[in-house]
Chains A and B, each alone.
Chain A
Amino acid sequence: MSKQAIDLTPQPNFRQVLQPTPFHQRMVEHCPIQNWMSWNGYQTPRVCDQLASEYFAIRSTCSVMDLTPMEKYRIIGPDAVKFLNRLVTRDISGLKPGRVTYVIWCNDEGKVLDDGTLFHLEQGDYRLCAQHHQLDWLLLSSLGMDVSIEEETHNIAALSVQGPTSFSVLSAAGLQGLDTLKPFGICQSVLHGFDVTISRTGFTGDLGYELWVDPSNGLALWDAIFMLKDNGLFDIRTIGLSALEMVRIEAGFIMPGDDFNTAESTIRADHDRSPYELGLGWLVDFDKPYFTGKRALIHEYSQPIARRLVKLQVEGNKPPADSFLYDGKGGRRIGTIKSHSWSPILKTNVCMADIEYRNGLPPGEIWAEIYYQKELEWRATWAKCSVSEKPFWVHPRRLATPPQAF
C-alpha cells in the first residue's frame, strides 16, 4: 500500500472558507466584479469582468485561467504502468515520456468514475489530473501494487493559457520549446531561473498550453505573461469558469458530475453511466489483458445501447436550459439537456444531452421543449435539435506545429 502523508495542520484562518491560490494576489486585480466561486475549496472567479470578452479572449486572442485547483495525483513506482492499465480503460503502455493522454476510469460495474488527463512526465513517473477528488479510489486501486500515490493538487501552481495567440504570447514571455511542441506533448523550459513544465493541453478545443510551476514561482510566471499585456503587445485576459463552460461545450468535452452522475456519487440504479453511454467507447480497449470494469463492459458491448450522452445543436436562440427532449413535437419524452451554452462564434445553441436509444438506435428526430421568460412572463416553445458526432468547434490551429505566430 502506498504511503500518503495527510497534512492535519490547521488552516491559518478558519474564517477564510475559500483558499487563495498562488496566483490570487494578481488574479484579484483582474476581477473587479468579485464574482467568486469555490473550485475544490479554492477561490476561483466565475466571471472575472465581462463574460463575453473572456469568451472571445479564448477564441480570438489569449486567455489565462488559474488551473491550480484541479485535482492532481503523482503516480510513481515499478508497478506504475500495471497500476494505470488496471485503472483506466485505455492501454497506456504506449504512452511515451513527455506525452499526455485523455483517460477515463470505471468501477467494477463498468460505470465511469471520472475522467482526466494522464501525463507521462518521466519514465515511470506519471501525473493524473482528475475532475473530482480521486485519492480514495487511487489508494484502493494500489492494493498489491508497488506504486506510490501522492496527491499534489496543492503542491503545484498551474495556469492554462489558451487561444490563437497563446503560442506567440508564451514565446514572447520567454518560454522555449513551444515551436516543436506537438498537441498532447510535454516540454521543460526555464524562465527567469525557475523551471516551467509546459504541456500543450487544454479544455477549449483550441490552441493552448498548460504551465506547471512550483507555487513559489507562481507570481513570477504570471508577471512574465501579463507584462506583455502591460507593454501593449498582446491582449491577454483572465477568464473564469463560466467562459470555460462555454468553450468546453463547443469543443465537445464532457464534464463529469454535470453531464452525467459519476458512479461513486450514484445511489439510484441506472443513474450512473458507462463509457458507451457517454459516447466514449473509443477510449475502451478490450485488447489489453485487463482493466477494472472490462468484464461488465464486454457484456454491455454485446447488448444494444440503451442511451447516450450526445452533442446536441438546438435551433433558435432560446436557451434550452434543463429542457426535456421528445422524439417529436409533443412526442414521447426521451431525455434531457444536461448542459448548454449559446455559442457566440457558431451562433447557435450547443448542448450536452442524455437521450434514450431504442433497439440501439437514436430517435429519428429530437425536439426540445424550451421554457423561457419574456419580461417575467413564462412562455414555451419547441425547437428542433440535431445530434452532432463531431465537436461543434474545431479549428486546424489546434493541431498545427509550429502554431501560427502573431
Chain B
Amino acid sequence: MRVNLPQYDNIIIGAGHNGLVCAAYLAKKGQSVLVLEASDTLGGLAATREFYPGYKIAVAHSLSHFSPQIVSDLNLTDHGFKSGAPMPTIGLDLQGKHVVVTRDTVRGVTDKDASSYTDYLQLLERFANMLSPFWLKTMPRIGSKKLKDLTTFAQLGLKLRLLGKEDMGEFMRVATLPARDLMDENFDNDLLKAVLSWDGLIGSKMAPRSPNATVLAMLYRMSGEHNGASSIPQGGIESLINALHQVIATAGGQVQRHSPVAKINVQGDSNGLQATGVELADGTVLTAGRVISSADPKRTFLQLVGVENLEIEFSNRINRLRSDGYVAKLHLALDGLPHFNGIDIPDGRMIIAPKMDSIEFAFDNAKYGESPEQPVMEMMLPSLRDASLAPEGKHLLSAHIMYVPHSLKGGWTAQAKASLQELVIDTIAQYAPELRQQIIHAELLTPEDIERSHHVTGGHWHHTELSMDQMLMMRPTYEAAQYSTPIPGLFLCGAGSHPGGGLMGGPGHNAARHILGAK
C-alpha cells in the first residue's frame, strides 16, 4: 500500500539520447519527468567528452539516421539543433584508387558498377520507404487480438504487398541475405562491395557472410535524413543533446547528473508487482508513477530490478540476449590536418576495408576472442565539420574499429590495448603516412572500456544485437517488446527496444507514445 503520492510521474534512467527523447515527449505533454544520469555528461554514447585538453568527441561520432520526425515534433531546430550536410563515404585504397559513395552516385568504379549502383540504390530505397513507418511504431504483441496490433500487422502486410509482386518477392529474398551475397550479385569492385556492406555490419556481431539482419540494418539506417549517410550537426553531436535537454527543461522536466541508479524499487503485494521508483547509489529513494529505463535490458532487469522480481523463464530470456560489443574506438588528438594519399580534404567518412574478406577475417579473429590481425574501420576528422571539437588549427581523428571483442582471450591488459592501438595507427598510417608525427595524444576504448564508462552491457552499440531473433516484436524479447515490461510501472525506452540502436531516437519516441497512449 503506497501512502504518499509519488514524487514524479516519470523517472527516466539514463540521459542517453533515447532517455532524453522520451523525457522530452513526456514533459511536453505536461508530465513531470526526472531524468537520472550516472555520469557528469548527458548523451550516453553520444556524450561529448574532452579526451585531451581542447579535444572533444563522443563515442558516436556522427549522425546517420536520427529521426527527422522527432526533430520536427520537438522543434529541435528552435533549440539550436541544425543538421549537417551529408558526408561522402570514401573507401580507402592503398594505391589511391579510392571509391567515393555519395547519396546518388559512386565514383572510382567501372561504369557497369556505377550503373548497378543506381539500380541497387533505387531498390533499397523502395524497401526502406516501405519499412520507414514501422520504425516509429509500437510493434504488435505476439498473439494479441487488439485492434491496434492487428492494424499494425495489416499495415505491414499491405505495405509489403504494395511493393508489387516482383519487389515483394525480392524483399523477402534479400531481407536476411548475407551482405556478401547481395554485394556479389550486384557489383564487381571489391572495395565498393566492402564499403556498401559496412553499414549493415558495423556495431553488430555479424560479418559479410553472416546471414541475418544486415540488410535490414542498412534499411533501418536509410530511414535517416540523408538516406543513411553520416553527417555531423552544426555544433557537433553535443548540439543535439543540448537541444533535447532544452526541450525538457523548457517543458519543466528535470535532468540530474551524477545520479547513478543502484536499484529499481519494486513492491510486491497480493495484486502483484509495481515499480515504485528508484534508489540511487548514495541511498536516496525517489518515487515515481513510472520508471522508464533507457539502460540496456540486461542491466535494467538483471541488475536494477533483480531476478527475485522476475519470472524464471523471462529472466533467462533476458540473460540469453546477445550483448557483446565488437567495436572499439580510437581518438587521436592531432597537431594538424593529416594528409591522406589521393584525397584533397579528408572530410568524408573513410573506411579501411579493402574487400569483404578483410572484414570477414577481422571478424574471424574476434569471434574466437582474438584481437583482429588486420583491423577494419571507419574514421573521420570531425573537427573539419565542427571546429569547436579541437583547438584552432588542430584536428582530431575518430575511428570505429571492427571487430574488437569485448571479452578478449587473456583479458584487456594494458599491453593488449597498447598493441591494438599501435596496430590501428599503423593501419591508418598506410593511407596517411605523416600521421604518426602529428599525434599529440591517442586514446583507445575497447568495448570493455565503453561498458565501464557508459554503463552499457558488453559495450554494445545497440545494447543488444540487432538481429532477427531480437528485432521488431521480439526486441529485446517477447513480454518486454512493447516498451512495457512484466512489471507494471516499469518501461523500457533504450536501444534494446524496437527499432534499436544508433542515434535514431525511435525507442525513446515509441516508448513515450506507448506510455501516453496507455495512460
Instruction: Tell me the A residues contacting B by CB distance below 8 Å.
Output: 82, 86-87, 107-108, 137, 140-141, 143-145, 286-290, 292-295, 298
Q: A82-B308, A289-B269, A294-B272 in contact; A140/B302 too (CB < 8 A)?
A: no
Query: Is B273 in the interface zone, CB < 8 Å from A?
Result: yes
CB distance A290 to B309 under 8 Å?
yes
Neighbour of B307 across the interface among A86, A137, A288, CB < 8 A: A86
Query: Is B313 in the interface zone, CB < 8 Å from A?
Result: yes
Query: Is B96 in the interface zone, CB < 8 Å from A?
Result: no
Neighbour of A87 across the interface among B273, B302, B309, B312, CB < 8 A: B312
Q: A86-B308, A143-B307, A144-B306 in contact; A287/B316 too (CB < 8 A)?
A: no
A102 to B293 Cα, complex, angstroms: 39
Contacts of A289 in B (CB 8 A): 267-269, 273, 308-309
Neighbour of B314 across the interface among A108, A137, A294, A298, CB < 8 A: A108
A107 to B272 Cα, complex, angstroms: 16
Query: Is B484 in the interface zone, CB < 8 Å from A?
Result: no
Q: How large is the interface on B (under 10, 10 to 19, 20 to 34, 35 or more residues)?
A: 20 to 34
CB distance B273 to A292 under 8 Å?
no
A86 to B312 Cα, complex, angstroms: 8
A128 CB, min distance to chain B CBs, angstroms: 15
Contacts of A107 in B (CB 8 A): 312-313
Query: Is B151 in the interface zone, CB < 8 Å from A?
Result: no
Query: Is B311 in the interface zone, CB < 8 Å from A?
Result: yes
B1 CB, min distance to chain A CBs, angstroms: 13
Q: Which has the most chain B C-beta neighbours within 10 Å: A86, A108, A140?
A: A108
Q: Which residue of B lies closest to A144 (CB)?
A: B307
A240 CB, min distance to chain B CBs, angstroms: 35
CB distance B270 to A143 under 8 Å?
no
CB distance B273 to A295 under 8 Å?
yes
CB distance A108 to B308 under 8 Å?
no
CB distance A141 to B273 under 8 Å?
no
Neighbour of A298 across the interface among B271, B312, B315, B486, CB < 8 A: B271
CB distance B270 to A286 under 8 Å?
yes
Q: Which residue of A lies closest to B271 (CB)?
A: A298
Query: Is B118 in the interface zone, CB < 8 Å from A?
Result: no
Q: Which residue of A lies closest to B313 (CB)?
A: A108
Contacts of B314 in A (CB 8 A): 108
Cβ contacts A to B, 26 pairs, < 8 Å: A86-B307, A86-B308, A87-B312, A107-B312, A108-B312, A108-B313, A108-B314, A137-B312, A140-B312, A140-B313, A143-B307, A144-B302, A144-B306, A144-B315, A286-B270, A288-B268, A289-B267, A289-B269, A289-B308, A289-B309, A290-B273, A290-B308, A293-B311, A295-B486, A298-B270, A298-B271
Contacts of A287 in B (CB 8 A): 269-270
Query: Is B77 in the interface zone, CB < 8 Å from A?
Result: no
5 closest A-B pairs by CB: A289-B268, A144-B307, A108-B311, A286-B270, A108-B313
Residues of B237-289 whose CB lies within 8 A of A: 267-273
A289 to B307 Cα, complex, angstroms: 13
Residues of B292-337 whose CB lies within 8 A of A: 302, 306-309, 311-316, 319
A287 to B272 Cα, complex, angstroms: 9
B214 CB, min distance to chain A CBs, angstroms: 31
Q: Which residue of A lies closest to B486 (CB)?
A: A295
Contacts of A144 in B (CB 8 A): 302, 306-307, 315, 319
- Given A143-B302, A143-B312, 16 new contacts (CB under 8 A): A86-B308, A87-B312, A107-B312, A107-B313, A108-B311, A108-B314, A140-B316, A144-B307, A144-B315, A287-B270, A289-B269, A289-B308, A289-B309, A290-B309, A292-B311, A295-B273
A301 to B515 Cα, complex, angstroms: 27
Contacts of B271 in A (CB 8 A): 298
A286 to B273 Cα, complex, angstroms: 11
Contacts of B316 in A (CB 8 A): 140, 143
Contacts of A145 in B (CB 8 A): 307-308
CB distance B311 to A295 under 8 Å?
yes
A344 CB, min distance to chain B CBs, angstroms: 43
Neighbour of A141 across the interface among B272, B309, B312, B486, CB < 8 A: B312
Q: Which residue of B lies closest to A140 (CB)?
A: B316
B475 CB, min distance to chain A CBs, angstroms: 19
A127 to B258 Cα, complex, angstroms: 46
Contacts of B319 in A (CB 8 A): 143-144
CB distance A298 to B268 under 8 Å?
no
Contacts of A108 in B (CB 8 A): 311-314
CB distance B312 to A292 under 8 Å?
yes
Contacts of A143 in B (CB 8 A): 302, 307, 312, 315-316, 319
Q: Which residue of B lies closest to A296 (CB)?
A: B311
Q: Which residue of B lies closest to A301 (CB)?
A: B270
A138 CB, min distance to chain B CBs, angstroms: 10
Q: Which has the most chain A C-beta neighbours within 10 Å: B269, B311, B313?
A: B311
Contacts of B273 in A (CB 8 A): 289-290, 295
Q: Which residue of A lies closest to B302 (CB)?
A: A144
A290 to B275 Cα, complex, angstroms: 13
A290 CB, min distance to chain B CBs, angstroms: 5
B364 CB, min distance to chain A CBs, angstroms: 29
Q: Which residue of B lies closest to A293 (CB)?
A: B311
Residues of B123-174 whose CB lies within 8 A of A: none
Contacts of A295 in B (CB 8 A): 272-273, 311, 486
A362 to B437 Cα, complex, angstroms: 88
Q: Which residue of A lies closest to B317 (CB)?
A: A108
Contacts of B269 in A (CB 8 A): 287, 289
Contact with A along B3-36 (1 / 0, CB 8 A): 0000000000000000000000000000000000
Contacts of A286 in B (CB 8 A): 270
A23 to B225 Cα, complex, angstroms: 77
B495 CB, min distance to chain A CBs, angstroms: 23
Q: Which residue of B lies closest to A290 (CB)?
A: B268
A77 CB, min distance to chain B CBs, angstroms: 14
Contact with A along B89-120 (1 / 0, CB 8 A): 00000000000000000000000000000000
Contacts of B312 in A (CB 8 A): 86-87, 107-108, 137, 140-141, 143, 292
A144 to B270 Cα, complex, angstroms: 24
A217 CB, min distance to chain B CBs, angstroms: 36
Q: Which has the most chain B C-beta neighbours within 10 Å: A87, A140, A143, A298?
A: A143
A143 to B314 Cα, complex, angstroms: 11
Q: Which residue of A lies closest to B320 (CB)?
A: A143
B490 CB, min distance to chain A CBs, angstroms: 13
B316 CB, min distance to chain A CBs, angstroms: 5
B384 CB, min distance to chain A CBs, angstroms: 47
Contacts of B486 in A (CB 8 A): 295
A286 to B272 Cα, complex, angstroms: 8
Q: Which residue of B lies closest to A110 (CB)?
A: B311
A295 to B268 Cα, complex, angstroms: 11
